[in-house]
Chains A and B, each alone.
Chain A
């Protein structure tokens, strides 16, 4: 191509771009991600949801911002799994990068750390991967939590589920990390209230390397329900060693871990009928968006989504998208919309009461034939509970 023609084309192109500049300005959405550090292994389950949502929206012409459609552009930084650093990043995103919208960082402590920044600048953000009774102590107004997996509700619901499956004697083993211990606090009295005897109640450190003693004790205790308030690494350890030792309780619950795609890869049929925490399944036909999301995710990433974290992260995007379509980018209008509207998500309708999701019930999943099915409560269940 001649130099002159090239220049002329360039000028013409620049003129075109300038003319369309306003309409083409992307919506900039900021967040921090735990790319390194303690949560780095968990963070991709959230990032993949964000990326998929952005690509879907952009492919459909962009984010509906009330009156026009604008492409989404992400502005993100690594928070090194450090909540304090995350809070600084959110401050930078708001004041320096001047992003239009925010998505959530990963994990409960990180959400709690950035809540103060959101409050300071009056910037609304829909959270996702946070679950603790502590979220209720956050001042409502600029942050919302779509999860229904909050320990004071999990305890009674899990006890009721265990009772319904015929458990009479429960063995509990719990990681000493906060989410497990918070669950333990509410679970023990709830089991008592359901008339279930707790025959073992032991805690263990997160770096536990062997469970032979614990699992032998469980096997010998005659417990017909095992409740492991576990994190992913110890869920893996439990599953492998429970098989070796021959823990045969018909009801076996693992708190966090089985919803990760690698768990089913590691254990296949061995993990069949394990019960875990989760309120979303692609098999719930009443949630029209659930199955298409699942199929698109598997197509994009070649693995199944994390039924807990990926689903929550995607829900937070859906809520933000629908709120922006109605309210635009004005913070006050957006805040009022998120706080009052009902949103249609892959997990069914979501409406907030204060900081909490008032519709989605606390629910449990069971791995059946490699598929995650909701088995509790009855009104959202996609399959009946099966004993191991």
Chain B
């Protein structure tokens, strides 16, 4: 079976869908980490909240998840702003070296609070919605509509962000802050505003990812944690703060899991995933992207 299967576009489609999902979830985390050095271990919980937005929109009004995705993204922006005003501006004033450790604790606490509030509000019973579940056949590949949407939107958002980083003033400013916040401030970048924008974008992308993934996953208050783990694997693999590297790493992980299983056995899928992770870190501790520039 193996060689036929390896060459099959069916496998390619599955690898792309999985990888694009990883890339999207990783991208949001990378924006936040890159610009603000915040270790958001509650990132997956934003995905969870986005999934609930999609679920309730669908259950109450019949609005399909792709159309609820902008609402989920908007919720992400609201939460980002609330967090920024309520907590982060104080945290960010604590001095650069304390930020990562402090943020880890703060987000760990917030993560637990958000999960349990969601459990109180929605109960922990798993939810699911049925939409876009017809299968489309193109050139011998069977594709479920919802999975096509996930692939296309994820690629569009990742591509759009990467292009925006190069082609817009705000994008260049974000890149500058990621590379070196102090130097960016010296050349006139409004660092606090840029960070706030990146925080909005990162949270919005997480919410949007959740709304999309709600089409293919069970929805529950504790669904976020695996996405947090996946996002950290993706951004460490891609190079912390290297947004393009993260997107490549996300896609790579999708391919490693899908093709790795095809070449070995399903029992190896987790070992392949984390094996790749460890191997890349041994060979390129700075991640897949080019070496980080000298920081102040």
Contacts and interface: CB of A to CB of B under 8 A. Distances in A.
Q: Do A and B bind each other?
A: yes
Interface of A: 35-36, 40-41, 43-45, 48, 173, 176, 202-205, 207-214, 216-217, 220, 232-233, 236, 240-241, 243-246, 260-263, 265-268, 270, 303
17 contacts: A36-B222, A41-B125, A41-B126, A41-B221, A43-B124, A44-B125, A210-B14, A210-B258, A212-B11, A213-B266, A236-B218, A240-B133, A243-B144, A244-B144, A265-B130, A266-B128, A270-B130
Contact of A212 (B129, B219, B226, B258): B258
Interface string B1-38: 10001001011001100100000000000000000000
Interface string B254-296: 0001100110011101100000000000000000000000000
Contact of A207 (B127, B265, B270): B270
Given A176-B267, A240-B144, A213 B11 contact: yes
Contact of B1 (A220, A232, A243, A246): A220
Nearest to A213: B262
B180 interface: no
Interface in B112-131: 112, 115-116, 119, 123-130
A232 B217 CA distance: 11
B258 A213 contact: yes
A232 B126 contact: yes
Contacts of B133: 240, 243, 267-268, 270
Nearest to B226: A207
Interface string B233-269: 0000000000000000000000001100110011101
A214 B126 contact: no
A212 B217 contact: no
B187 to A, nearest CB: 43
A105 B274 CA distance: 34
A376 to B, nearest CB: 26
Q: Across the A-B interface, give the 4 residue pairs with the lowest CB-CB distance, nearest first.
A: A266-B128, A204-B266, A262-B128, A212-B14
Contacts of B149: none
B124 A204 contact: no
Interface in B127-171: 127-130, 133, 135, 142-144, 147
Contacts of A240: 133, 144, 216
Given A40-B222, A204-B267, A212-B258, A267 B142 contact: no
B220 interface: yes
Nearest to B268: A205
Contacts of B1: 216-217, 220
Contacts of B226: 207
Given A216-B8, A220-B1, A267-B133, A205 B269 contact: yes
Contact of B266 (A203, A244, A265): A203
Contacts of A45: 125
Contacts of B14: 210, 212, 241
Residue from the set A240, A261, A263 with the largest chain B CB neighbour count within 10 Å: A240
A263 B126 CA distance: 9
Given A207-B270, A265-B129, 5 more contacts: A36-B112, A213-B261, A214-B261, A241-B14, A270-B130
A4 B215 CA distance: 63
Nearest to B15: A210
Contacts of B8: 216
Contacts of B11: 212-213, 216
Nearest to A269: B130
B269 A209 contact: yes
Contacts of B266: 173, 202-205, 208, 211, 213-214
Contacts of B127: 262, 265
Contacts of A176: 267
Contacts of A244: 135, 142-144, 147
Given A41-B126, A208-B266, A216-B1, A266 B218 contact: yes
Contacts of A262: 125-128, 218-219
A260 B123 CA distance: 14
Contacts of B270: 205, 207
Nearest to A43: B124
A236 B123 CA distance: 20
A210 B142 contact: no
A327 B258 CA distance: 59
B25 to A, nearest CB: 12
A210 B129 contact: no
B129 to A, nearest CB: 7
B258 to A, nearest CB: 5
Contact of A266 (B125, B129, B147): B129
A345 B189 CA distance: 71
A266 B215 CA distance: 8
B267 A303 contact: no
B218 A213 contact: no
Contacts of A266: 128-130, 218
Contacts of A48: 125
Contacts of B222: 36, 40-41
Contacts of A217: 1, 5
A20 B9 CA distance: 76
A78 to B, nearest CB: 10
A48 B116 CA distance: 17
A267 B130 contact: yes
A241 B146 CA distance: 11
Nearest to B219: A262
B147 to A, nearest CB: 7
A268 B130 contact: yes
Contacts of B267: 176, 202-205
A306 to B, nearest CB: 9
B261 A210 contact: yes
